Amino acid sequence: MRPAENAQLALLLEVSGTPKPGNVDRDRDLDDLRYEQFLSGAVGAGAGLRAAESGPVGETFERAVQGMVDPHGENTQFGALLLLTPLVRAANEENLSPAGVDSVVKDTTVTDAAAFYRAFEHCSVFVSDPPADAGELDVRRGAAAVPAVEERDLSLYEVMALGEDEDDVAREWTGGFERSFRVASRIGELPGSLSDRTAAVFCEQLAEHPDTLVAKKHGSETAEWASKEIAEHLGDIDMLISLANSFVRRGINPGTTADIVAAGLFIALERGVEV
């Protein structure tokens, strides 16, 4: 399959894995997001992902986000698409490696950054307050922030660097997609179906890395508690199912972990892992 199709398959596999405590999967919905919406979001993002094989990262990311939102109006895979877009480009250039994707993101421009900001106009994305000296660059301003981005001549890579201390998707961009490639390797090592491996790797990643979306919504102590709970019950499917239901009730949604797992799935598929 071409890279764009593997990216869509990665999105579908990610949401199908279960249990993924706190997140939508094939066995559970959230109050405001349903499994079927993730499926339709993955399909809707297809045109943007196909364009990402050779087009500008920012423009094709915005197109993928708009396509994701069109079927249902919700944010289902914003962060995952932000990771997948440059990965698709690197794969299409036959350079899907940490160095290859690092080259893609470092080659982004202020035009890419402007498109990234415009993508926030298409759906609601939970973000933290920006630093006091960066209010004009608050992504929640959407297109209204573009003049400040252009005035400072910030590339999309440089915009990501502004958030790397508190957001693991941004940290992937500035760190050679380190966790995404490690997830891909782990998926290749594990037995079982890809859906089962997806859930297992999700839990391993959450146990090792407190989720930055949870930290933003609920505070770092809750994020660390959630990771500790998962770590204590790795491999115990009954307890993980119980935690999955408990996290959903408490609104603990480790969405950043899911984004990174989706990126890792894409890399694994490109490497030839069997479905």
Distances (CA, A) of 13 to 17, 53, 171, 233: 6, 20, 23, 23
| Residue 22 near residue 229, CB atoms below 8 Å | no
Place of tokens 């981005």: 149
Return per-residue pLDDT of the chain as tens, 275 residues: 999 999 999 999 999 999 999 999 999 999 889 999 999 999 999 999 999 999 999 999 999 999 999 989 999 999 999 999 999 999 999 999 999 999 999 999 999 999 999 999 999 898 877 766 677 899 989 999 999 999 999 999 999 999 998 999 999 999 999 999 999 999 999 999 999 999 999 999 999 999 999 999 999 999 999 999 999 999 999 999 999 999 999 999 999 999 999 999 999 999 999 88
Distances (CA, A) of 250 to 22, 160, 253: 8, 30, 9
Give 28's strand partners. Answer: 25
Q: SS3 for 75?
A: coil
Prediction pTM value: 0.97
* Domains (range + CATH), the chain: 3-270 (1.10.4200.10)
